[in-house]
Amino acid sequence: MNSRGPLGRGARLLIALAGIAALLFVLSACDLGGVHPIFPDPVSANGKNIYDTYVGISLMAIVVFVGVEAALLWVVIRYRRSAQPVGYVPPQVHGHTGLEIAWTIAPLVIVLAIAAYSFAELQKDFQPISNPQMTVIISGHQFGWDYQYENGVVVHQEGSLAAPVVPFVVPTHTLVKLQFRATDVIHSWWVPAVSGKTDAVPGYDNFSWLKIDQTGQWRGECAELCGAGHASMQIIVQAMDQPEFDAWMAKQKPAPSPSASPSPSK
What residues between 91 and 130 interact with another protein by CB under 8 A? 91-96, 99-100, 103-104, 106-108, 110-112, 114-115, 118-119, 121-123, 125-127
Contact set for another protein, span 176-205 (CB under 8 A): 183-186, 188, 190-193, 195-199, 201-204
Candidates 77-85, 129-137, 149-157, 244-252; binding stretch for another protein (CB under 8 A): 77-85
Contact set for another protein, span 140-159 (CB under 8 A): 142
Shortest CB 265 distance to another protein, Å: 13
Strand partners, 145: 140, 157
For residue 184, CA distances in Å to 181, 201, 217, 223, 262 come to 10, 8, 28, 15, 11
Candidates 132-140, 146-154, 223-231, 236-244; binding stretch for another protein (CB under 8 A): 223-231
Shortest CB 247 distance to another protein, Å: 30
Task: Provide the 8-state DSSP code for 257.
Answer: S
Q: Is 59 in the site for another protein (CB under 8 A)?
A: no
**CA 175 to centroid of chain Cα atoms:** 21
The set of long-range contacts for 131-135, using a CB threshold of 8 Å and a minimum separation of 24, is 131/175, 132/175, 132/176, 132/177, 132/209, 133/174, 133/175, 133/176, 134/170, 134/171, 134/174, 134/175, 134/176, 134/177, 135/176, 135/177, 135/178, 135/179
Selected from 1, 3, 30, 34, the binder of another protein by CB under 8 A is: 34
Selected from 29, 54, 216, 247, the binder of another protein by CB under 8 A is: 54
Could you give the residue ranges of the DSSP H alpha helices within 126-230?
none
Number of residues that bind another protein (CB under 8 A): 104
Selected from 37, 217, 241, 254, the binder of another protein by CB under 8 A is: 37
